[in-house]
Amino acid sequence: MSEYEILAVRYAHNAERRISENFLGGDAHDGPMPMDFFVWVLKGDGQTIIVDTGFDADMAKRRARKITRPVVEGLKAAGVDLAGVKDVVLTHMHYDHAGNHEIFPNARYHIQDREMEYCTGRCMCHSSLRHPFEADDVTAMVGKLFQGRVKFHNGASEIADGVTVHLVGGHSRGLQFVRVRTRRGWVVLASDASHYYANFEQYRPFPVVVDVSETLEGYDAMRRQASSLAHIVPGHDPLVLQRYPAQPGGPADIIRLDAEPLK
């Protein structure tokens, strides 16, 4: 059975985020609650699989985000040969997960049917629903489709031995999380199925949401697929950098999620 190393590569940060912005209905005790932005690297069985592609400097300026290290530089620091990557999983098509369209010239992209139907359909007539998307990201994915470089999934599906995707919806109509077999058991990369630890631990959804019931059921789905609660890794929580070790001699913001948590 294949086991994978998992690297979380932080590429951007939003220091201005508040607690009230991170929970549906706000929070009575408002204060700072920053947000980090990651892409993920799976290494094992002679291959490298990328989960999400982040955004670039132009998008950071448009969205008032701070790039801490460009995605390409972070991936190279993590030992990724961009041209050698054959599979990229996009958990969903929001701007912070589906940019940097041309950095993997030989990759096939994995996405849920329901996500492409959502971001190219009638829901995008509504500004509040299309706000997390960027037209350039969507049209770039359509271009890859016509190049024969998109693999669609409908629900749970295997990407490779030891790597599966699971449709949960909620935050976006076709959101999927990724389950990975590692030396310490099954790790769930939540992506935006849970932005912060507090979202899934306290069953308090993030306020950008299409379907609240799917979000809550997604928390249960992650629990079923992970070896334990400590094997669920949220998509945007700065605490991730505190809870997992960096590679020996490597930068502090590229960390090993297949290692035992530090705390």
* Mean pLDDT taken over the chain: 97
Which residues are 182's β-sheet partners? 185
Name the pLDDT band for 191 (thresholds 50, 70, 90).
very high
Average of per-residue pLDDT across 235-259: 95
Per-residue pLDDT at 144 = 98
Cα–Cα distance, 135 to 225 (Å, whole number): 33
Per-residue pLDDT at 204 = 98
pLDDT score of 1 more than 90: no
Average of per-residue pLDDT across 99-124: 98
Q: Which residue type, as a one-letter code, is found at position 132?
A: P
With residue 8 as reference, give the H or E element that holds it. strand 5-14
Per-residue pLDDT at 263 = 67
pLDDT score of 139 more than 80: yes
Q: Which domains does the chain have, with CATH numbers?
A: 5-256 (3.60.15.10)
pTM of the model: 0.97
User: Exposed, middle or buried, 202 (CB in 10 Å: 0-12/13-18/19+)?
Assistant: exposed
Of 64, 43, 41, the C-alpha closest to 52 is 41
Residue % of the chain over a pLDDT of 90: 95
* 181: Cα separation from own chain's centroid: 17
Per-residue pLDDT at 250 = 86
DSSP for 44-108 reads ETTEEEEE-----HHHHHHHT-EESS-HHHHHHHTT--GGG--EEE-S--STTTS--TTS-TT-E
Each residue's pLDDT tens digit, 215-232: 999 999 999 999 999 999
pLDDT score of 62 more than 80: yes
